[in-house]
Chains A and B, each alone.
Chain A
């Protein structure tokens, strides 16, 4: 029934339209100088992108992976775009976050940016989304690098637009770290190309086994692992992330926190499972012995730092690092359950951090600061905003009926399945720590007296509250009826581990 609603042209060219529309939209957006006009255009592009993503996900679930030849040039020579269950799922996440955050951005950005920068803001915003989606559709590793740089370069500038002048220095340190990461990835790709003579992912997967026992391929794997870890902000390569999330404009924090690290996880999965293969990356090279300790330390150490943070945005940034730890932990199991848990948490963490950063953006809009000291008693003046923070926080802790519970449950199952009880204890301990740092926000906002200077603060406008509550509702919807997300995650994990053709 749904299939008949999609025009045939879109069905046929969906993988390339997914990238071309935001990319061309960005170019056109830079010519629209009136702020509202640029926003309206960006909104249109974001929603069209979202519709295509829905059509793409539907088609992939119905018919299996979709392959698209750019310009009609067949795979090893031409560039292939390939969308499988994993790609379509993450595309769906990125496109729906863009569709929700763009309406939110209008008022938030008008308040935080000078009017003459707004149309350029939306240009970079669309460019960022185009880069993210490009990474997810491409089946060519060098193409992946180019899209990675498109999205990274635009995100450096987006972060530097924050009101605080420290946004500039945090954007600069992100630029330095991000460029090192990207260069490491190109070195890895170059070494693989030198040994196999191909850049197509499926082709690489076919030709790599013949040269696995040379020294070049393990070196390539090492460079790519370190490069993506820098982009992913995996402990101890996370130093750029807290400042970048803290000083970026609210809308940018929300979209970057909920999509950028997720796409880096996608690259991890793509390189480890599709290209190198789980047999080489895990059984021969023993990657799990590197990833698992780092993931556990990340979850424990950054949760501990989050407990002592006083800026709510920075607190959430550290909690994001802990969640990245969970995701990498799931990957490092190398089992079907573990990878399913990781993919589920990619989606679910996108939903919860999106909701939390949007709600915190409402606080920034009304109060201007999100220091725990400044949000004292604000729960009484902005009840809907703070309720959204609490709901998102519950999801972050992993309360039943929220998405946080679903993915943590799968992680626990995966750990028990391998019989690794210490990991179960770490998971429970970090959930407890999440409870502590969420409680600190609740305590400040509800149980402390409202200072006089905030006596006339009003609730955030509906244009900010509606997108926030859409994401909060999604947190509960996918937490209660999780069959949609778990099914896709399981299918994606099965195809990554080679259980499906």
Chain B
């Protein structure tokens, strides 16, 4: 049972990753594509956080030597990854705004039609 609970987070990671990836591939609307991409990237954050977690572990701030603590490094790495993700999303939506101005639509098939 603990084995299953321990793996529970990783099932969520795989589920979110596949949902995000599917939305990214299947949707023709650029905004929906960006949503898919964001979900896809977010799943990785849960994966890293899960790696660092120890059951019963606490934050390693002013602890005794014997105290059980979770590894803080994955959290720090994911702060960086969140910043990167925010920047990617911002650039993506900015591009979508410009695409809307230039083509008058954010639907992929209509863009392809008007580009011809």
Considering only CB atoms and an 8 Å cut-off, how many residues of chain A contact the other chain? 24
Bitwise, A119-158 to B at CB < 8 A (1) or not (0) is 0000000000000000000000010001001000100110
Q: Tell which of A142, A149, A165, A175 touches B102, judged by Cβ atoms closer than 8 Å.
A: A165
**Contact at A172–B99, with CB atoms within 8 Å?**
yes
Q: Tell which of B24, B77, B81, B103 touches A165, judged by Cβ atoms closer than 8 Å.
A: B103
**Contact at B51–A160, with CB atoms within 8 Å?**
no
> Footprint of A on B, CB under 8 Å?
21, 24, 30, 33, 37, 40-41, 44, 47-48, 51, 74, 77, 80-81, 84, 87-88, 91-92, 95-96, 98-99, 102-103, 111, 115
**Contact at B41–A169, with CB atoms within 8 Å?**
no
6 CB < 8 A contacts A-B? A156-B95, A166-B115, A168-B99, A169-B99, A172-B95, A183-B40
How far apart sit A492 and B48, CA to CA, in the bound complex (Å)?
A: 34
CB of A17 closer than 8 Å to a CB of B? no
- What residues of chain A lie closer than 8 Å to B21, measured between beta carbons? 180
**Contact at B47–A172, with CB atoms within 8 Å?**
no
CB of A241 closer than 8 Å to a CB of B? no
**Contact at B88–A142, with CB atoms within 8 Å?**
no
Interchain nearest-CB distance for A177 vs B (Å) = 10
How far apart sit A183 and B17, CA to CA, in the bound complex (Å)?
A: 10
Interchain nearest-CB distance for A98 vs B (Å) = 22
**Contact at B51–A172, with CB atoms within 8 Å?**
no
Chain A, interface SS category: helix
How far apart sit A186 and B40, CA to CA, in the bound complex (Å)?
A: 12
Q: Tell which of A142, A146, A175, A180 touches B92, judged by Cβ atoms closer than 8 Å.
A: A175
CB of A176 closer than 8 Å to a CB of B? yes
- What residues of chain A lie closer than 8 Å to B37, measured between beta carbons? 176, 179-180
Interchain nearest-CB distance for B84 vs A (Å) = 5
CB of A193 closer than 8 Å to a CB of B? yes
CB of A401 closer than 8 Å to a CB of B? no
**Contact at B111–A169, with CB atoms within 8 Å?**
yes
CB of A101 closer than 8 Å to a CB of B? no
**Contact at B95–A193, with CB atoms within 8 Å?**
no
Interchain nearest-CB distance for B7 vs A (Å) = 13
Q: Tell which of B51, B91, B99 touches A190, judged by Cβ atoms closer than 8 Å.
A: B51
**Contact at A183–B41, with CB atoms within 8 Å?**
yes
**Contact at A172–B30, with CB atoms within 8 Å?**
yes
**Contact at A142–B80, with CB atoms within 8 Å?**
yes
- What residues of chain B lie closer than 8 Å to A190, measured between beta carbons? 44, 47-48, 51, 74
Interchain nearest-CB distance for A192 vs B (Å) = 11
Interchain nearest-CB distance for A124 vs B (Å) = 11
- What residues of chain B lie closer than 8 Å to A183, measured between beta carbons? 40-41, 44
CB of A344 closer than 8 Å to a CB of B? no
Q: Tell which of B30, B41, B51 touches A194, judged by Cβ atoms closer than 8 Å.
A: B51
**Contact at B88–A172, with CB atoms within 8 Å?**
no
Task: Knowing that A157-B91, A165-B103 touch, tell me 16 more A-B residue pairs with CB under 8 angstroms.
Answer: A153-B87, A165-B102, A166-B115, A168-B98, A168-B103, A169-B103, A169-B111, A176-B37, A180-B21, A180-B40, A186-B81, A187-B47, A190-B44, A190-B48, A190-B51, A194-B51
Considering the complex, give the chain A residue whose CB is closest to the CB of B87.
A153
- What residues of chain B lie closer than 8 Å to A176, measured between beta carbons? 24, 33, 37, 92
**Contact at B88–A175, with CB atoms within 8 Å?**
yes
- What residues of chain B lie closer than 8 Å to A204, measured between beta carbons? none
How far apart sit A153 and B98, CA to CA, in the bound complex (Å)?
A: 16
**Contact at A175–B95, with CB atoms within 8 Å?**
yes
- What residues of chain B lie closer than 8 Å to A157, measured between beta carbons? 91
CB of A220 closer than 8 Å to a CB of B? no
- What residues of chain A lie closer than 8 Å to B51, measured between beta carbons? 190, 193-194
- What residues of chain A lie closer than 8 Å to B95, measured between beta carbons? 156, 160, 168, 171-172, 175
- What residues of chain B lie closer than 8 Å to A146, measured between beta carbons? 80, 84
